[in-house]
């Protein structure tokens, strides 16, 4: 199944519970948008594209849950639900992007409001009879469109990125950016998957990605499914392999990329990028254009989520706590890799190279049929 999927029979949202992998494969089912918001916070679902799709379907649940009797009332309820969902994880731009995209399809333009006309809705209905049903259907239609587009975008990125991988390459990958981080296929791991599908002999060094171990739990599990050769390494071993000439490329994802090419990604990415840069190894974030935030000039403007210290302090060693009693911890979930360390940014519209201020805008504004 897909990581995030709407069940049109039950009218509920289904998501793979990523907290339980690799030991248990379980599908969580949701019929309440608030529960989806909590699931995003708790990382039942994670990865920027998957979060965006989940939020879109959560708005569909909110539309179904609303007791509003007028279109205006339903729109008010949807905006309230969107505000709650946006707080679930602040760094991943896809969450707010998906919600705003859906709301924008429902809200009358200022000119229509002035004239008292209805916005266009699927089926051609306006604010009159049947419009509540049309609005609810429109929410789900746009959410499904976002999910379907994500799969197609991932595969386009994979083709562009696979051109950067040569037969016999060893690559380092941080966090998880595969099918589990998207609706299906994957971003950075999707590139690796595509190169493997093309017949290239690839080996992947998988950063554990502490403290939640998305690399060793999720990426390694996916690579097992695809039959791709890999070794798990501790995060702080990456510099060793890079400095000894044992790595050809680095591929990572991004939860938000600023207009100048600064990249927010899972904590530890910045150190990996520094080591790659120091050793002349190309460093490529793989980023759908929906994750590029041209409204932010630099990465300094990207909000960084700090999660519960318990995620750090849950580590055990030989069955005992690996920290003194009473210890405290800091747990930023992301860091910012400055654009000067980035070789190129792979998108569905091609690979953007410096100067990013100019070339990211070009790939974002590409018109596709």
- Residues 254 and 347 placed together within one structural domain of the fold: yes
Same domain for 146 and 203?
no
- 369 lies in some domain: no
DSSP, collapsed to helix, strand or coil, labels residue 359 as helix
Residues 71, 130 within the same domain: yes
Contact 346, 285 (CB under 8 A): yes
Query: What is the tens place of the pLDDT at every residue in 29-62?
Result: 999 999 999 999 999 999 888 999 999 999 999 9
Measure Cα distances from 160 to 163, 199, 281, 315, 350 in Å.
6, 16, 19, 39, 6
Tell how far CA 165 is from the center of its chain. 22
Judgement on whether residues 61 and 104 belong to the same structural domain of the protein: yes
- What confidence tens digit (pLDDT) does each residue in 325-341 have? 999 999 999 999 999 99
Residue 203: HSE in the Cβ half-sphere, 13 Å Cα cutoff:
11
Note the pLDDT tens digit of each residue in 225-255: 999 999 999 999 999 999 999 999 999 999 9
Regarding whether 287 and 187 lie in a shared domain, the answer is yes
Query: Do 315 and 346 sit in the same domain of this protein?
Result: yes
CATH number for 251: 3.40.50.10470
Q: Which of 46, 52, 51, 58 is nearest to 13 (CA)?
A: 58
Q: How confident is the model at residue 296 (pLDDT cuts 50, 70, 90)?
A: very high
Cα 182 to Cα 154: distance, rounded to the nearest angstrom: 8
Phi-psi region of 211 (alpha: psi -120 to 50; beta: other; left: phi over 0): alpha
Computed on alpha carbons and rounded to an integer, the radius of gyration of the chain in Å comes to 21
Query: What are the DSSP calls for 187-237, one per residue?
Result: SHHHHHHHHHHTT---EEEEE--TTTTHIIIIIHHHHHHHT-EEEEE-GGG
* Same structural domain, 98 and 81: yes
Give the DSSP letter of residue 43: T
Query: Does residue 255 have an active-site annotation?
Result: yes
Number of alpha carbons in the 13 Å side-chain half-sphere of residue 299: 19
The domain in which residue 77 lies consists of 4-152
CB 197 within 8 A of CB 182: no
Average pLDDT score, the chain: 91
Name the phi and psi angles at 116, rounded to 5: 75, 25
Q: Which of the listed residues 118, 152, 186 is the one where a domain comes to its end?
A: 152
Q: What's the rounded Cα separation, in Å, for the pair 192 and 89?
A: 27
Q: What are 198-226's pLDDT values in tens digits?
A: 999 999 999 999 999 999 999 999 999 99
Give the pLDDT confidence score for residue 108 in this predicted structure: 56
Q: Are both 177 and 141 inside the same structural domain?
A: no
In the chain, the number of structural domains is: 2
Residue in 235, 255, 293, 335 annotated catalytic: 255
């Amino acid at each position: 199944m897909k990581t995030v999927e709407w069940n049109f029979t039950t009218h509920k949202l289904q998501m793979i519970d990523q907290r339980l992998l690799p030991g248990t494969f379980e599908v969580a089912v949701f019929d309440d948008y608030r529960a989806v918001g909590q699931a995003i916070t708790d990382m039942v679902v994670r990865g920027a594209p998957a979060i965006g799709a989940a939020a879109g379907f959560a708005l569909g649940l909110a539309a179904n849950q609303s007791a509003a009797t007028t279109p205006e009332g339903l729109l008010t309820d949807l905006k309230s639900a969107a505000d709650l969902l946006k707080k679930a994880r602040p760094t991943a731009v896809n969450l707010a992007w998906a919600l705003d995209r859906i709301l924008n399809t429902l809200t009358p333009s200022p000119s229509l409001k002035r004239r008292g006309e209805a916005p266009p809705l699927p089926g051609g209905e306006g604010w009159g009879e049947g419009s509540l049903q049309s609005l609810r259907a429109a929410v789900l239609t746009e959410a499904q469109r976002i999910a379907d587009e994500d799969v197609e975008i991932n595969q386009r990125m994979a083709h562009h990125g696979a051109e950067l991988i040569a037969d016999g390459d060893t690559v380092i990958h941080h966090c998880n950016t595969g099918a589990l981080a998207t609706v299906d296929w994957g971003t950075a791991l999707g590139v690796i998957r595509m190169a493997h599908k093309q017949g290239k002999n690839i080996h992947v060094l998988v950063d554990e990605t502490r403290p939640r171990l998305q690399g060793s739990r999720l990426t390694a599990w996916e690579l097992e499914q695809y039959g791709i050769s890999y070794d798990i390494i501790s995060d702080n071993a990456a510099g060793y392999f890079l400095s000894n000439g044992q790595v050809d490329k680095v591929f990572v994802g991004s939860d938000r990329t600023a207009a100048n090419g600064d990249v927010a990604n899972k904590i530890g990415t910045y150190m990996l990028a520094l080591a790659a840069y120091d050793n002349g190894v190309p460093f490529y974030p793989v980023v759908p254009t929906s994750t590029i935030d041209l409204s932010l000039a630099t990465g300094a403007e990207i909000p960084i989520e700090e999660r519960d210290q318990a995620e750090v302090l849950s580590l055990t060693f030989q069955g005992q706590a690996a920290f003194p009693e009473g210890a405290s911890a800091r747990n930023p979930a992301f860091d910012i890799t400055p654009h000067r360390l980035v070789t190129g940014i792979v998108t569905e519209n091609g690979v953007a190279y410096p100067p990013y201020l100019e070339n990211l805008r070009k790939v974002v504004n590409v018109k596709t049929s």
